[in-house]
Structure 1
Amino acid sequence: MKTLVLSLALLLGANRAFAQMPAADEAAIRKVVQQMTANYTDHKFSDMAVYTTPDVSWVNIVGMWWRGRADVQLAHQRIFDSIFTGVSFKPGDVTVRSITPDVAVVNLYCAVGAYYPPDGVNRGTNKMGDDQDLLTLVMVKKKGKWLLTAGQNTVVSATAAANDPVAVKR
Protein backbone atom coordinates (compact mmCIF):
# COMPACT_ATOMS: atom_id res chain seq x y z
CA MET A 1 0.00 0.00 0.00
CA LYS A 2 2.86 2.39 0.82
CA THR A 3 4.31 1.72 -2.61
CA LEU A 4 1.00 2.52 -4.29
CA VAL A 5 0.58 5.80 -2.39
CA LEU A 6 4.20 6.78 -3.04
CA SER A 7 3.84 5.93 -6.73
CA LEU A 8 0.69 8.03 -7.03
CA ALA A 9 2.35 10.96 -5.24
CA LEU A 10 5.37 10.77 -7.56
CA LEU A 11 3.14 10.54 -10.62
CA LEU A 12 1.11 13.56 -9.58
CA GLY A 13 4.27 15.48 -8.74
CA ALA A 14 5.82 14.64 -12.13
CA ASN A 15 2.67 15.77 -13.90
CA ARG A 16 2.78 19.13 -12.08
CA ALA A 17 6.45 19.54 -12.96
CA PHE A 18 5.66 19.20 -16.65
CA ALA A 19 2.79 21.67 -16.45
CA GLN A 20 4.98 24.41 -15.01
CA MET A 21 7.25 26.12 -17.48
CA PRO A 22 10.55 27.70 -16.48
CA ALA A 23 10.46 31.49 -16.80
CA ALA A 24 13.36 31.41 -19.30
CA ASP A 25 11.38 29.10 -21.62
CA GLU A 26 8.27 31.25 -21.43
CA ALA A 27 10.36 34.35 -22.19
CA ALA A 28 11.95 32.58 -25.18
CA ILE A 29 8.52 31.57 -26.50
CA ARG A 30 7.21 35.12 -26.10
CA LYS A 31 10.25 36.33 -28.07
CA VAL A 32 9.33 33.98 -30.94
CA VAL A 33 5.78 35.36 -30.85
CA GLN A 34 7.23 38.90 -30.99
CA GLN A 35 9.32 37.96 -34.04
CA MET A 36 6.28 36.51 -35.78
CA THR A 37 4.06 39.48 -34.97
CA ALA A 38 6.80 41.85 -36.14
CA ASN A 39 6.49 40.14 -39.54
CA TYR A 40 2.74 40.68 -39.46
CA THR A 41 3.31 44.33 -38.62
CA ASP A 42 6.06 45.07 -41.16
CA HIS A 43 4.64 42.67 -43.79
CA LYS A 44 8.06 41.05 -44.35
CA PHE A 45 8.49 37.32 -43.81
CA SER A 46 12.06 36.74 -45.00
CA ASP A 47 13.24 35.77 -41.51
CA MET A 48 10.72 32.98 -40.89
CA ALA A 49 13.56 30.44 -40.84
CA VAL A 50 14.77 32.04 -37.61
CA TYR A 51 11.63 31.09 -35.67
CA THR A 52 9.97 28.16 -37.51
CA THR A 53 10.69 24.47 -37.94
CA PRO A 54 11.37 23.28 -41.51
CA ASP A 55 8.08 21.32 -41.43
CA VAL A 56 5.96 24.17 -40.04
CA SER A 57 2.30 24.17 -41.07
CA TRP A 58 -0.28 26.94 -41.03
CA VAL A 59 -4.07 27.01 -41.41
CA ASN A 60 -5.32 30.48 -42.29
CA ILE A 61 -8.68 32.09 -41.51
CA VAL A 62 -10.36 30.69 -44.62
CA GLY A 63 -9.03 27.14 -44.22
CA MET A 64 -6.04 27.21 -46.54
CA TRP A 65 -3.49 24.73 -45.19
CA TRP A 66 0.14 25.47 -45.99
CA ARG A 67 2.84 22.90 -45.22
CA GLY A 68 6.56 23.38 -45.01
CA ARG A 69 8.52 26.54 -44.31
CA ALA A 70 8.92 27.52 -47.98
CA ASP A 71 5.16 27.38 -48.66
CA VAL A 72 4.18 28.99 -45.34
CA GLN A 73 6.59 31.86 -45.97
CA LEU A 74 5.59 32.25 -49.63
CA ALA A 75 1.86 32.23 -48.82
CA HIS A 76 2.21 34.78 -46.03
CA GLN A 77 4.35 37.07 -48.18
CA ARG A 78 2.01 36.89 -51.17
CA ILE A 79 -1.09 37.57 -49.10
CA PHE A 80 0.55 40.46 -47.25
CA ASP A 81 1.72 41.87 -50.60
CA SER A 82 -1.84 41.80 -51.93
CA ILE A 83 -4.94 41.80 -49.72
CA PHE A 84 -3.11 42.91 -46.55
CA THR A 85 -1.18 45.81 -48.10
CA GLY A 86 -1.36 48.66 -45.61
CA VAL A 87 -3.50 46.66 -43.18
CA SER A 88 -2.65 47.09 -39.50
CA PHE A 89 -1.97 44.16 -37.20
CA LYS A 90 -1.74 44.82 -33.48
CA PRO A 91 -0.86 41.91 -31.20
CA GLY A 92 -2.81 41.66 -27.98
CA ASP A 93 -2.98 39.24 -25.08
CA VAL A 94 -0.74 36.17 -25.20
CA THR A 95 -1.07 33.04 -23.11
CA VAL A 96 1.53 30.28 -22.98
CA ARG A 97 0.72 26.78 -21.74
CA SER A 98 3.27 24.04 -21.31
CA ILE A 99 2.29 20.63 -22.66
CA THR A 100 5.64 18.92 -22.05
CA PRO A 101 9.07 20.39 -21.34
CA ASP A 102 9.59 20.68 -25.11
CA VAL A 103 6.07 21.52 -26.36
CA ALA A 104 3.86 24.53 -25.62
CA VAL A 105 0.62 25.98 -26.92
CA VAL A 106 0.32 29.73 -27.35
CA ASN A 107 -2.90 31.67 -27.85
CA LEU A 108 -2.58 35.18 -29.19
CA TYR A 109 -5.22 37.79 -29.89
CA CYS A 110 -4.48 40.17 -32.74
CA ALA A 111 -6.47 43.20 -33.93
CA VAL A 112 -6.68 43.20 -37.73
CA GLY A 113 -7.59 46.24 -39.80
CA ALA A 114 -9.91 46.25 -42.81
CA TYR A 115 -8.87 44.34 -45.92
CA TYR A 116 -10.45 43.43 -49.25
CA PRO A 117 -10.22 39.86 -50.54
CA PRO A 118 -9.39 38.30 -52.86
CA ASP A 119 -6.88 40.82 -54.25
CA GLY A 120 -6.87 43.87 -51.96
CA VAL A 121 -9.20 45.92 -54.16
CA ASN A 122 -12.23 47.56 -52.51
CA ARG A 123 -15.24 46.52 -54.60
CA GLY A 124 -17.79 47.96 -52.15
CA THR A 125 -19.02 44.61 -50.84
CA ASN A 126 -15.85 42.67 -50.05
CA LYS A 127 -14.65 44.37 -46.87
CA MET A 128 -13.40 42.08 -44.11
CA GLY A 129 -11.35 42.69 -41.00
CA ASP A 130 -11.64 45.44 -38.44
CA ASP A 131 -11.90 42.60 -35.96
CA GLN A 132 -10.04 40.37 -33.54
CA ASP A 133 -8.29 37.20 -34.60
CA LEU A 134 -7.27 34.41 -32.26
CA LEU A 135 -4.14 32.52 -33.22
CA THR A 136 -3.24 29.12 -31.81
CA LEU A 137 0.46 28.34 -32.11
CA VAL A 138 2.27 25.11 -31.32
CA MET A 139 5.85 25.67 -30.21
CA VAL A 140 8.56 23.02 -29.89
CA LYS A 141 11.96 23.19 -28.30
CA LYS A 142 14.68 21.90 -30.66
CA LYS A 143 18.33 21.93 -29.64
CA GLY A 144 17.51 24.39 -26.84
CA LYS A 145 15.63 26.82 -29.10
CA TRP A 146 11.87 27.39 -29.19
CA LEU A 147 10.35 27.31 -32.70
CA LEU A 148 6.90 27.60 -34.22
CA THR A 149 5.84 24.28 -35.74
CA ALA A 150 2.11 24.86 -36.37
CA GLY A 151 -0.28 27.78 -36.42
CA GLN A 152 -3.97 28.38 -36.99
CA ASN A 153 -5.84 31.68 -37.26
CA THR A 154 -9.52 32.22 -36.44
CA VAL A 155 -11.59 35.38 -36.78
CA VAL A 156 -13.40 36.05 -33.52
CA SER A 157 -17.07 36.61 -34.28
CA ALA A 158 -18.39 39.30 -31.93
CA THR A 159 -21.95 38.07 -32.53
CA ALA A 160 -21.07 34.50 -31.62
CA ALA A 161 -18.94 35.60 -28.65
CA ALA A 162 -22.00 37.32 -27.15
CA ASN A 163 -23.63 33.87 -27.02
CA ASP A 164 -20.64 31.90 -25.72
CA PRO A 165 -22.14 29.20 -23.47
CA VAL A 166 -19.10 29.25 -21.19
CA ALA A 167 -19.16 33.03 -20.73
CA VAL A 168 -22.87 33.11 -19.86
CA LYS A 169 -23.43 33.52 -16.13
CA ARG A 170 -24.75 30.41 -14.49
Structure 2
Amino acid sequence: MHRRSALYTLSGLAVMSAVPVQATTVQSARPDDAAAVRALLDQHAAGWAVGDVDAMFAMATDDVHWINIVGMHWQGKAEVIQAYRFFLATMLKGVPLTLEAVESVTPVGDDVLVVVSRWLVGAFSPPDGSRIPAASDRLTMVLRRTPEGLKLAHGANVQIDAAAAPFDPVRNPPPGSSPA
Protein backbone atom coordinates (compact mmCIF):
# COMPACT_ATOMS: atom_id res chain seq x y z
CA MET A 1 0.00 0.00 0.00
CA HIS A 2 1.33 3.46 -0.86
CA ARG A 3 2.24 5.40 2.29
CA ARG A 4 0.38 8.56 1.25
CA SER A 5 -2.96 6.79 0.80
CA ALA A 6 -2.48 4.90 4.04
CA LEU A 7 -1.74 8.08 5.99
CA TYR A 8 -5.14 9.64 5.56
CA THR A 9 -5.18 10.56 9.21
CA LEU A 10 -1.56 11.44 9.97
CA SER A 11 -1.37 14.71 11.82
CA GLY A 12 1.78 16.02 10.20
CA LEU A 13 4.47 17.50 12.37
CA ALA A 14 6.30 15.27 14.70
CA VAL A 15 9.26 16.48 16.61
CA MET A 16 11.48 14.60 19.03
CA SER A 17 15.05 15.73 18.94
CA ALA A 18 17.41 12.86 19.72
CA VAL A 19 20.44 13.84 17.66
CA PRO A 20 22.22 17.14 17.05
CA VAL A 21 20.55 19.08 14.27
CA GLN A 22 22.18 21.77 12.18
CA ALA A 23 20.67 24.22 9.74
CA THR A 24 22.06 23.78 6.25
CA THR A 25 21.06 27.26 5.09
CA VAL A 26 20.39 30.24 7.34
CA GLN A 27 19.84 33.50 5.49
CA SER A 28 18.83 35.99 8.11
CA ALA A 29 19.55 39.54 9.11
CA ARG A 30 19.26 38.49 12.76
CA PRO A 31 21.98 36.26 14.13
CA ASP A 32 19.70 34.74 16.78
CA ASP A 33 17.10 33.43 14.30
CA ALA A 34 18.53 29.91 14.07
CA ALA A 35 18.56 29.58 17.87
CA ALA A 36 15.02 30.97 18.17
CA VAL A 37 13.76 28.53 15.53
CA ARG A 38 15.45 25.64 17.30
CA ALA A 39 13.90 26.73 20.62
CA LEU A 40 10.45 26.77 19.01
CA LEU A 41 10.97 23.28 17.56
CA ASP A 42 12.30 21.99 20.88
CA GLN A 43 9.23 23.39 22.68
CA HIS A 44 7.01 21.59 20.21
CA ALA A 45 9.06 18.40 20.63
CA ALA A 46 8.76 18.48 24.40
CA GLY A 47 4.97 18.74 24.12
CA TRP A 48 4.84 15.91 21.57
CA ALA A 49 6.95 13.63 23.75
CA VAL A 50 4.44 13.80 26.62
CA GLY A 51 1.27 14.23 24.55
CA ASP A 52 0.75 17.83 25.71
CA VAL A 53 -0.88 19.41 22.67
CA ASP A 54 -1.33 22.78 24.38
CA ALA A 55 2.43 22.95 24.91
CA MET A 56 3.05 21.80 21.34
CA PHE A 57 1.10 24.73 19.95
CA ALA A 58 1.70 27.36 22.64
CA MET A 59 3.83 29.14 20.04
CA ALA A 60 1.09 29.12 17.36
CA THR A 61 -0.92 32.17 16.37
CA ASP A 62 -4.66 32.02 17.00
CA ASP A 63 -5.22 32.07 13.22
CA VAL A 64 -2.62 29.39 12.39
CA HIS A 65 -3.19 27.20 9.33
CA TRP A 66 -1.92 23.62 9.28
CA ILE A 67 -1.86 21.17 6.37
CA ASN A 68 -0.90 17.65 7.33
CA ILE A 69 0.91 15.07 5.23
CA VAL A 70 -2.28 13.82 3.58
CA GLY A 71 -3.72 17.25 2.81
CA MET A 72 -6.06 17.80 5.77
CA HIS A 73 -6.27 21.57 6.31
CA TRP A 74 -7.05 22.92 9.76
CA GLN A 75 -7.69 26.62 10.25
CA GLY A 76 -7.21 28.23 13.63
CA LYS A 77 -5.44 27.07 16.75
CA ALA A 78 -8.56 25.35 18.12
CA GLU A 79 -8.85 23.07 15.06
CA VAL A 80 -5.13 22.21 15.05
CA ILE A 81 -5.23 21.36 18.75
CA GLN A 82 -8.40 19.29 18.30
CA ALA A 83 -6.78 17.24 15.52
CA TYR A 84 -3.55 16.65 17.44
CA ARG A 85 -5.39 15.70 20.64
CA PHE A 86 -7.15 12.98 18.68
CA PHE A 87 -4.07 11.68 16.87
CA LEU A 88 -1.74 11.72 19.87
CA ALA A 89 -4.31 9.85 21.95
CA THR A 90 -4.78 7.21 19.26
CA MET A 91 -2.59 6.13 16.35
CA LEU A 92 0.38 8.41 17.12
CA LYS A 93 0.48 7.73 20.85
CA GLY A 94 4.04 6.81 21.75
CA VAL A 95 5.28 7.05 18.16
CA PRO A 96 8.91 8.17 18.16
CA LEU A 97 9.73 11.21 16.08
CA THR A 98 13.08 12.80 15.48
CA LEU A 99 14.12 16.13 14.06
CA GLU A 100 16.66 15.17 11.39
CA ALA A 101 17.59 18.64 10.11
CA VAL A 102 16.62 22.27 9.98
CA GLU A 103 17.29 22.65 6.27
CA SER A 104 16.74 26.37 5.91
CA VAL A 105 15.71 29.52 7.76
CA THR A 106 14.91 32.29 5.30
CA PRO A 107 13.56 35.77 6.10
CA VAL A 108 10.67 37.16 4.09
CA GLY A 109 10.69 40.82 5.00
CA ASP A 110 11.44 42.00 8.53
CA ASP A 111 8.85 40.04 10.49
CA VAL A 112 8.46 36.65 8.77
CA LEU A 113 10.68 33.58 8.51
CA VAL A 114 10.16 30.52 6.33
CA VAL A 115 11.65 27.40 7.89
CA VAL A 116 12.13 24.05 6.16
CA SER A 117 12.89 21.07 8.37
CA ARG A 118 13.06 17.31 7.99
CA TRP A 119 11.64 14.77 10.48
CA LEU A 120 11.86 11.02 10.96
CA VAL A 121 8.41 9.67 11.86
CA GLY A 122 8.35 6.32 13.63
CA ALA A 123 6.25 3.39 12.49
CA PHE A 124 2.54 3.46 13.39
CA SER A 125 -0.84 1.99 12.47
CA PRO A 126 -3.58 4.25 11.05
CA PRO A 127 -7.28 3.48 11.64
CA ASP A 128 -7.43 1.03 8.71
CA GLY A 129 -5.13 -1.29 10.69
CA SER A 130 -2.23 -1.26 8.23
CA ARG A 131 1.33 -0.78 9.45
CA ILE A 132 3.13 2.31 8.22
CA PRO A 133 6.93 2.00 8.39
CA ALA A 134 9.15 4.76 9.73
CA ALA A 135 9.81 7.43 7.10
CA SER A 136 11.04 10.99 6.65
CA ASP A 137 8.79 14.00 6.12
CA ARG A 138 9.58 17.60 5.22
CA LEU A 139 7.83 20.48 7.01
CA THR A 140 7.62 24.08 5.83
CA MET A 141 6.66 26.60 8.49
CA VAL A 142 5.89 30.30 8.28
CA LEU A 143 6.86 32.05 11.49
CA ARG A 144 5.93 35.61 12.51
CA ARG A 145 7.99 37.81 14.77
CA THR A 146 5.91 39.07 17.70
CA PRO A 147 6.79 40.84 20.96
CA GLU A 148 6.52 37.39 22.61
CA GLY A 149 8.96 35.82 20.12
CA LEU A 150 8.46 33.71 17.01
CA LYS A 151 4.93 32.40 16.44
CA LEU A 152 3.81 29.65 14.07
CA ALA A 153 1.40 31.09 11.47
CA HIS A 154 1.37 28.25 8.92
CA GLY A 155 2.68 24.71 8.60
CA ALA A 156 2.57 22.26 5.69
CA ASN A 157 4.04 18.77 5.80
CA VAL A 158 4.92 16.48 2.89
CA GLN A 159 6.19 12.92 2.70
CA ILE A 160 9.68 12.40 1.36
CA ASP A 161 9.43 9.63 -1.21
CA ALA A 162 12.75 7.78 -0.88
CA ALA A 163 12.10 5.89 -4.12
CA ALA A 164 11.82 9.18 -6.04
CA ALA A 165 14.96 10.78 -4.54
CA PRO A 166 17.42 9.26 -7.04
CA PHE A 167 15.48 10.98 -9.84
CA ASP A 168 15.70 14.51 -8.40
CA PRO A 169 17.08 16.46 -11.39
CA VAL A 170 18.75 19.03 -9.12
CA ARG A 171 20.41 16.72 -6.57
CA ASN A 172 21.08 13.91 -9.10
CA PRO A 173 21.22 15.43 -12.60
CA PRO A 174 20.68 12.93 -15.39
CA PRO A 175 23.73 12.24 -17.57
CA GLY A 176 24.04 14.76 -20.37
CA SER A 177 21.82 17.37 -18.71
CA SER A 178 23.02 20.89 -18.10
CA PRO A 179 21.98 23.33 -15.39
CA ALA A 180 19.45 25.93 -16.43
2:39 aligned with 1:35, yes or no?
A: no
Computed over aligned residues only, the root mean square deviation of the Cα atoms, in angstroms, reads 1.7
- Decide which structure has greater helix share: 1
- Mapping of 1:10-49 within 5 angstroms? 20-48=28-56
Q: Counterpart of 2:172? A: 168
For the 8 Å contact 1:137–1:148, the answer to whether it is kept is yes
For the 8 Å contact 1:111–1:131, the answer to whether it is kept is yes
TM-score, scaled relative to structure 1: 0.79
* Structure 2: 5+ residue stretches without partners: 1-26
Count residues with an aligned counterpart.
Answer: 147
For the 8 Å contact 2:114–2:140, the answer to whether it is kept is yes
Structure 1, 30-39 or 146-155: larger mean CA deviation: 30-39
For the 8 Å contact 2:101–2:117, the answer to whether it is kept is yes
2:145 aligned with 1:136, yes or no?
A: no
Larger radius of gyration: 1
Give the number of the structure with larger relative contact order, counting CA–CA contacts within 8 Å between residues 6 or more apart.
2
- Matches of 1:33 and 1:161 in 2, distance apart? 26
4+ residue runs over 4 A deviation: none
- Mapping of 1:1-170 within 5 angstroms? 20-48=28-56, 50-94=58-102, 95-118=104-127, 123=129, 126-143=130-147, 145-169=149-173, 170=177
For the 8 Å contact 1:107–1:136, the answer to whether it is kept is yes
Q: CA deviation at 1:144?
A: 5.2
| Identical positions, percent | 33
Q: CA deviation at 1:160?
A: 1.0
TM-score, scaled relative to structure 2: 0.75
Q: Counterpart of 1:5? A: none
For the 8 Å contact 1:112–1:132, the answer to whether it is kept is yes
Q: CA deviation at 1:73?
A: 1.0
